[in-house]
């Protein structure tokens, strides 16, 4: 299987060389007025920063030469973040291919990114090895193309009342570091139980549920040789010949509001109705059936942010003081490992977004501590974070995870 995957990567690299991203750039554009923002939004460009939402301020946007001229015509100031996207993607593919060739997942799973099939098999194998504390869920839900959303539940052998925690990643297909980080946390929990006090105490007090890859179809598509490495949404066939719904605009909490789009070709297309997509609907049903939960985090990339509810309104939730304290401490725990700076804030302070998972978790599933974490980096690599940064990203977020788990069950 590994040889077949390497052939796929080589073909994908050839597609880059043959001009899939020819003439494209990523610019950091400074939007100064709401009029500029709305005009650029109408162009339906690929926004890389801040969960693909345009804000007043700095935005990372993928453009071609004609679109660059349009930005200049609007009077938008910009600098080149990635001046040659084709060369950038080519280098990313080479690093990816090299890491796959050198990878030995039986020794270290985190020296390379992994396919959907490899992730599923790895989770299943872990539950065999750690069968006393881990249970594999073959399918939390099914995707629009019929793929399973695998899950894993981990808890210690201690008896008595325990509290539930929930963690997910991979709602957006191109954000490969997100499921990789969730998987890193899973392994650290299993390795640490019975060996370190923090892990043992946490697992003896909690049942921890993981869905590392909420969007398997989109993720699978980003690995395909004839596809688009920068694909974000799921793979629903929309009217008009477009594809995909943004799963993190499809949750049934203020669905259809600001920060989502009704245009099917948009990267933030919200779908035809709340929970129109089997992936978001299925994960929500799992949370409802296995609760109550006391804490939840949804992992994304990029921008290095810890975001708390709400996304749809500036009115703070009743537990704003507590949620801020926990978010700020997550930030500090991340920085303590590799001195990488994340920002902690309410989602709306950065941008408005409606129909997102943490707002649903907080408001509809009554999970008091609900967050989005946007992982590395701040734009130098964007969605092509090198494989060498998987373990450092995992380590800093593992430190924060241990704090968050203890804080949530004590809340």
Calpha distance 278→280 (Å, rounded): 6
- Can you give the pLDDT at residue 13? 46
Angstrom distances, CA of residue 140 to CA of 136, 168, 278, 373: 10, 12, 11, 22
- Can you give the pLDDT at residue 1? 41
* Domains annotated on the chain, with CATH: 2-89 (3.30.70.340), 106-225+269-410 (3.40.630.10)
Which pLDDT band holds residue 340 (cuts at 50, 70, 90)?
very high
**Is 109:126 a contact under the CB 8 Å cutoff?**
no
> What sign for the dihedral angle of Cα 113, 116, 121, 124?
positive
Which pLDDT band holds residue 19 (cuts at 50, 70, 90)?
low
> What sign for the dihedral angle of Cα 410, 149, 299, 186?
positive
Which pLDDT band holds residue 10 (cuts at 50, 70, 90)?
very low
DSSP one-letter string for 372-388: EEEES-SSSSTT---GG
State the average pLDDT over residues 120-141.
97
Residues in CB range of 12: below 8 A, 6 or more apart: 93, 224, 225, 229
Catalytic residue positions?
374
Residue 198 pLDDT more than 60? Answer: yes
pTM for this one?
0.94
State the average pLDDT over residues 183-187.
98
Calpha distance 174→144 (Å, rounded): 18
Of all residues in the chain, the percent with pLDDT exceeding 90 is: 91
Considering just the CA atoms, what is the radius of gyration of the chain in Å?
Answer: 20
Residue 9 pLDDT more than 60? Answer: no
What rounded mean pLDDT belongs to the chain?
94
**Is 373:361 a contact under the CB 8 Å cutoff?**
no
């Amino acid at each position: 299987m590994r040889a077949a995957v390497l052939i796929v990567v080589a073909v994908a690299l050839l597609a880059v060389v043959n001009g899939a991203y020819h003439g494209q750039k990523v610019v950091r554009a400074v939007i100064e007025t709401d009029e500029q923002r709305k005009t650029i939004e109408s162009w339906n460009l690929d926004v890389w920063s801040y969960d693909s939402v345009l804000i007043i301020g700095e935005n990372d946007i993928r453009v071609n030469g004609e679109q660059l001229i349009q930005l200049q015509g609007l009077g938008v100031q910009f600098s080149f973040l990635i001046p040659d996207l084709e060369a950038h993607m080519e280098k990313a593919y080479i690093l990816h291919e090299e890491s796959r060739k050198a990878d030995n997942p039986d020794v270290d799973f985190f020296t390379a990114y992994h396919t959907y099939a490899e992730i599923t098999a790895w989770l299943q194998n872990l539950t065999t090895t750690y069968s006393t504390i881990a249970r594999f869920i073959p399918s939390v839900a099914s995707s629009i193309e019929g793929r399973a959303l695998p899950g894993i539940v981990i808890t210690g052998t201690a008896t008595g009342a325990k509290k539930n925690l929930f963690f997910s990643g991979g709602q957006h297909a191109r954000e490969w570091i997100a499921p990789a980080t969730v998987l890193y946390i899973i392994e650290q929990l299993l390795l640490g139980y019975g060996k370190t006090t923090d892990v043992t105490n946490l697992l003896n007090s909690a049942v921890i549920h993981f869905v590392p890859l909420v969007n398997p179809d989109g993720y699978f598509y980003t690995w395909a040789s004839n596809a688009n490495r920068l694909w974000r949404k799921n793979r629903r066939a929309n009217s008009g010949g477009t594809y995909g719904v943004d799963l993190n605009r499809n949750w049934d909490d203020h669905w259809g509001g600001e920060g989502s789009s009704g245009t099917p070709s948009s990267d933030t297309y919200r779908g035809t109705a709340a929970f129109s997509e089997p992936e978001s609907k299925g994960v929500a049903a799992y949370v409802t059936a296995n609760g109550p939960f006391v804490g939840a985090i949804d992992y994304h990339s990029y921008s290095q942010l810890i975001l708390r509810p709400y996304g749809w309104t500036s009115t703070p939730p009743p537990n704003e003081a507590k949620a801020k304290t926990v978010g700020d401490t997550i930030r500090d725990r991340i920085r303590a490992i590799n001195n990488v700076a994340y920002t902690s804030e309410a989602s709306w302070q950065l941008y408005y977004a409606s129909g997102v998972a943490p707002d649903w978790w907080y408001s509809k599933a009554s999970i008091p501590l609900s967050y989005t974490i946007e992982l590395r980096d701040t734009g130098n690599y964007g969605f092509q974070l090198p494989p060498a940064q998987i373990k450092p990203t995992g380590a800093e977020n593992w430190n924060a995870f241990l704090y968050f788990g203890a804080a949530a069950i004590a809340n």
